[in-house]
């Protein structure tokens, strides 16, 4: 049976989520062999996946910082917890 691009796009995504069945793998491969558009889609999705993978491993270094107010609030929360938990004076 000939697969539509719509059906194949789901397989392209599923391939990143689970082991495809043998039949699905064949259908996917046969379709990609003849369809430039789905091949482009599969490549785009792979690129998206690897970018997210790189982002996942780290908090990328940029200028975003905790504000002074945020820091102060967290510091206070730590001190309050210190007093409550262990009876330590701040």
Backbone angles phi, psi at 40, to 5 degrees: -60, -40
85 binds other proteins (CB under 8 A): yes
Nearer to other proteins, 10 or 29 (CB): 10
30 binds other proteins (CB under 8 A): no
Tell the smallest beta-carbon distance from residue 30 to other proteins (Å).
15
47 binds other proteins (CB under 8 A): yes
Nearer to other proteins, 22 or 65 (CB): 65
Tell the smallest beta-carbon distance from residue 21 to other proteins (Å).
13
- 3-state DSSP of the chain: CCCCHHHHHHHHHHCCCCCCCHHHHHHHHHHHHHCHHHHHHHHHHHHHHHHHHHHHHCCCCCCCCCCHHHHHHHHHHHHHHHHHHHCCCC
Tell the smallest beta-carbon distance from residue 73 to other proteins (Å).
7
């Amino acid at each position: 049976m000939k697969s539509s691009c719509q059906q194949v796009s789901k397989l392209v995504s599923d391939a990143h989520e689970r082991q495809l069945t043998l039949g699905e793998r064949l259908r996917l491969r046969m379709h990609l062999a003849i369809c430039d558009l789905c091949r482009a889609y599969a490549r785009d999705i792979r690129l998206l996946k690897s970018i997210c993978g790189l982002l996942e491993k780290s908090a990328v270094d940029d200028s975003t910082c905790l504000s002074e107010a945020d820091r102060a609030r967290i510091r206070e929360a730590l001190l309050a917890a210190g007093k409550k938990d262990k009876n330590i004076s701040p």
